[in-house]
């Protein structure tokens, strides 16, 4: 049997567009899907009045395929010319006529409804002659095609975002690997400067006879040791690289990675902030700034991932 781990699920963006259509005798159906990023699945339907009773089926079809994103679904229904003359829905037309009379009675300056206004009013064109089951099948088939196209669009962008994130991971690793061999040198340099300042500051106490030379040396040693522990960033760099490995693992596994990666960005940013707060050299400060910039770039891209 095939090993499923060799075939990771694609990473999908939440941004995409697709359209699909179906034809019935005398009718043309079109479905457009547009999606942008959102924390949850937020579906907005724009459906002709004649198809309102299919809304539940449309919502179920979209919800079965998409997990996140602000999705707009537009359904258009057009009569094909030259096939069969459309029929007017007499009750709806009569109701519209009464509304028009009432409005112009209250507002004499109101413009009467035009023929185009009437024909575009929901429910005026009667679709009762169309087989409901055939209409439902055509609608759901068009939805399935449009969802396929939307998913393909989102996956293409998702793959581009995956590559962008992996490039940023490489940048973070490069910075960390450049810093790690230099940490002992930078730490020793910072400790030497501190030791010199402490010796100068405590020299007056030695001259006054308040402390012995041995006591002074021990005090300086203790302070330098504590300072070294506070500014040592080796552990932060190790955790930074561990988080990067996890980001790469999540991207390799694929699927719905957005929330997991968003959490990992928080962890990466925490390590970068700690690194900056412990900086004892210009190089370390600059590295912390570059790391935060790369992490922020990743965080912005991850907001678009499903």
Contact at 8 Å (CB) between 46 and 71?
no
Question: Where residue 285 falls among pLDDT bands split at 50, 70, 90?
Answer: confident
Contact at 8 Å (CB) between 138 and 29?
yes
The whole-number average pLDDT for the span 141-157 is: 94
Question: How many residues belong to the chain?
Answer: 306
State residue 266's pLDDT score.
Answer: 93
Please give the residue that has the higher pLDDT: either 189 or 180: 180
Is the pLDDT assigned to residue 196 strictly greater than 80? no
State residue 3's pLDDT score.
Answer: 41
- Reference 262, options 237, 298, 289; nearest CA is 298
Pairing of strands 16-24, 27-36: antiparallel
State residue 71's pLDDT score.
Answer: 95
* Least confident interval from 32-36, 49-53, 54-58, 203-207: 203-207
Q: Where are the beta strands (DSSP E) in 170-230?
A: none
Q: How far apart are CA 73 and CA 35, in angstroms?
A: 9
Residue 123 backbone zone (phi > 0: left; psi -120 to 50: alpha; other: beta): left
List CB contacts of 47: < 8 A, sequence separation 6 or more. 54, 55, 58, 73, 75
Q: In this structure, what token pair is assigned to residue 197? A: 């300042």
State residue 157's pLDDT score.
Answer: 93
Q: How far apart are CA 17 and CA 263, in angstroms?
A: 28
Question: Where residue 188 falls among pLDDT bands split at 50, 70, 90?
Answer: low
pLDDT digits (tens, 9 = 90+) for 38-78: 888 999 999 987 788 889 999 999 999 988 899 999 999 88
Pairing of strands 87-88, 16-24: unpaired
State residue 204's pLDDT score.
Answer: 57
Q: How far apart are CA 198 and CA 242, in angstroms?
A: 37
Contact at 8 Å (CB) between 36 and 70?
yes
The residue to which tokens 């010319």 are assigned: 81
The three-class DSSP label of residue 120 is coil
Q: How far apart are CA 96 and CA 86, in angstroms?
A: 18
- Residue 171 CB coordination number (10 Å): 18
Is the pLDDT assigned to residue 186 strictly greater than 50? yes
Longest Cα–Cα distance in the chain: 114
Contact at 8 Å (CB) between 70 and 96?
no
Residue 228, phi then psi, degrees to nearest 5: -60, -40
- Reference 234, options 192, 186, 267; nearest CA is 186
The pLDDT mean for the chain works out to: 80
Q: How far apart are CA 42 and CA 63, in angstroms?
A: 10
Question: Where residue 96 falls among pLDDT bands split at 50, 70, 90?
Answer: confident
Residue 208, phi then psi, degrees to nearest 5: -75, -5
């Amino acid at each position: 049997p095939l090993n499923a781990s060799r075939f990771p699920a694609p990473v999908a963006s939440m941004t995409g567009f697709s359209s699909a259509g179906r034809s019935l005798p005398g009718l043309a159906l079109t479905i457009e899907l547009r999606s942008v990023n959102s924390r949850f699945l937020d579906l907005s339907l724009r459906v002709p009045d004649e198809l309102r009773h299919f809304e539940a089926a449309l919502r179920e079809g979209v919800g079965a395929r998409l997990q996140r994103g602000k999705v707009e679904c537009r359904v258009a229904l057009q009569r094909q010319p030259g096939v069969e003359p459309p029929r007017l829905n007499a009750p709806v037309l009569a109701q519209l006529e009464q509304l028009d009379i009432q409005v112009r009675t209250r507002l004499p300056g109101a413009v009467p409804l035009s023929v185009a206004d009437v024909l575009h009013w929901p429910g005026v064109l009667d679709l009762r002659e169309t087989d409901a089951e055939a209409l439902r099948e055509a609608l759901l088939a068009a939805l399935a095609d449009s969802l396929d196209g939307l998913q393909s669009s989102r996956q293409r962008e998702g793959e581009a975002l995956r590559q962008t994130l992996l490039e940023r991971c490489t940048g973070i690793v490069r910075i960390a690997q450049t810093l790690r061999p230099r940490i002992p040198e930078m730490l020793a340099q910072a400790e030497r400067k501190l030791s010199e300042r402490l010796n100068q500051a405590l020299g007056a106490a030695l001259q006054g006879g308040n402390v012995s030379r041995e006591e002074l040396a021990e005090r300086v040693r203790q302070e330098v040791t504590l300072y070294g522990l506070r500014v040592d960033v080796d552990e932060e760099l190790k955790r930074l690289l561990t988080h990067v490995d996890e980001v790469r693992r999540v991207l390799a596994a694929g699927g719905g990675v957005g929330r997991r990666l968003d959490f990992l960005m928080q962890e990466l940013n925490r390590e970068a902030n700690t690194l900056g707060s412990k900086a004892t050299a210009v190089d370390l400060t600059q590295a912390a700034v570059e790391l935060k910039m790369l992490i922020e770039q990743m965080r912005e891209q991850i907001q678009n991932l499903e």
